[in-house]
Copies of this chain bind each other. A is one copy, B any other.
Amino acid sequence: MTDEGPLTPRVTGTVRIVGAGLLGASVGHALRARGADVVLEDASPSQLRLAIDYGAGRAATADDAPTLIVVAVPPDVVADVVERELRAFPDAVVTDVASVKLEPLRELVERGVNLTHYIGSHPLAGRERGGAISARADLFIGRPWVVCRDGKTPASDLALVEALALDLGATPIEMTPEDHDRSVALVSHVPQLVASLLAGQFADAPDGSLRLAGQGVRDTTRIAASAPELWVQILAANAAPVVDILDALSQDLAAVADALRAPEAVGARREVADTIRRGNEGVERLPGKHGQNRRFASLVVMVDDTAGQLGRLFGDLGALAVNVEDFRLEHSPGAPFGLAEIAVAPAVLRDAITGLEERGWKIASTTND
């Protein structure tokens, strides 16, 4: 794997983690792997026990003097717990990892809590399943970790939270709470709702209709499988920015629906074309691999649906010194084989095709754009 340097923690002193679920326990595992002293607390004794048993840290004691406190509790109770921790440990820096930043901050300000040593943060990481049992030391590796300091934040406090992010392999990104919340509304909360709303249309659809579903609709609705409980809290806590985008989306939807109500009217087809074209522009702007908008050439190879076939394919690609930039395995409903779509640098496309065909692979298609 990548060279992470000597396994000593950048964070100094004891780190106290409140909330030993997926995120909290994952922070614990990652810090423990670097040798940091980690103490854990959780409102649920059984969750706490599990996190300790799995090695995420030790049980908190009355003598602990943490330098850094990580609050990793559900969004609904973040403000309560941050306030309690700031009061209990006035010398510690307190951060939280909730996916909404403005609402808890507003609550804390309203209560008149001294927030000098509070820095909200948000690692863009997660899994479909929660709980200490799902925690992984490498959950945060390579992920953005948003840090929301303000003008009064001491430089040493900021450095400590950024050291935490770096210890976990994440990339710290400074943003205001407002910018953060608008950003996650746009790239996470609204996409979740849109996928759910679209997939919701299939709930009562005839079986026969769904037989015609292909990879496109499966991709579009994949995240609709997310669990409701957490999303209700997230969406409620970030309601205003989410509603703004939903309203814009609703207007755009109404415009294209109206155009399709009279598809032969003047301007109707242009409205539809503009919708698709604007989508082209938007999707082009999403960061892809390595955070860039690099475009790759792709080739689609037919593979039997048996163990070893993909091994042989990737073995051949390795022998051809072709680096696989991206890979997707597409299944044909009812067929005993799949289509392996492989993205490669445009410069190596021709050699990859020639080499694979020489080795007996059937190339179903290629694109180079």
A356 near B: Cβ within 8 Å?
Answer: no
A5 near B: Cβ within 8 Å?
Answer: no
- Contact partner of A319 among B203, B223, B311, CB < 8 A? B311
Chain A 87-105 near chain B by CB (<8 Å), digits 1 or 0: 0000000000000000000
A200 near B: Cβ within 8 Å?
Answer: yes
Query: How long is the Cα–Cα vector from A264 to B239 in the complex, in angstroms?
Result: 10
List residues of chain B with CB within 8 A of the CB of A231: 272-273, 276
Chain A 280-291 near chain B by CB (<8 Å), digits 1 or 0: 111111111111
Q: In the assembly, how many copies of this chain are there?
A: 2
Contact at A221–B314, with CB atoms within 8 Å? no
- Contact partner of A205 among B186, B221, B249, B290, CB < 8 A? B186
Query: How long is the Cα–Cα vector from A231 to B139 in the complex, in angstroms?
Result: 40
- Contact partner of A1 among B237, B263, B334, B362, CB < 8 A? B362
A222 near B: Cβ within 8 Å?
Answer: yes
Chain A 215-249 near chain B by CB (<8 Å), digits 1 or 0: 01111111111111101100111010011011111
Contact at A246–B239, with CB atoms within 8 Å? no
Contact at B283–A142, with CB atoms within 8 Å? no
A110 near B: Cβ within 8 Å?
Answer: no
Per the 8 Å Cβ criterion, residues 310-347 of A in contact with B are 310-319, 321-324, 326-329, 331-337
Contact at B324–A203, with CB atoms within 8 Å? no
Min Cβ gap A88→B in Å is 29
Query: How long is the Cα–Cα vector from A18 to B223 in the complex, in angstroms?
Result: 41
Chain A 186-213 near chain B by CB (<8 Å), digits 1 or 0: 1110111111111111110111111111
A302 near B: Cβ within 8 Å?
Answer: yes
Contact at A275–B197, with CB atoms within 8 Å? yes
5 A–B pairs (Cβ distance < 8 Å), ordered by A = A1-B337, A127-B365, A188-B213, A194-B220, A205-B285
A-B contact sample (19 more), CB < 8 A, given A221-B286, A226-B276: A2-B304, A124-B212, A142-B334, A171-B333, A183-B206, A187-B214, A191-B221, A197-B252, A197-B275, A200-B278, A202-B281, A216-B223, A220-B222, A232-B272, A236-B264, A253-B253, A291-B334, A308-B321, A311-B319
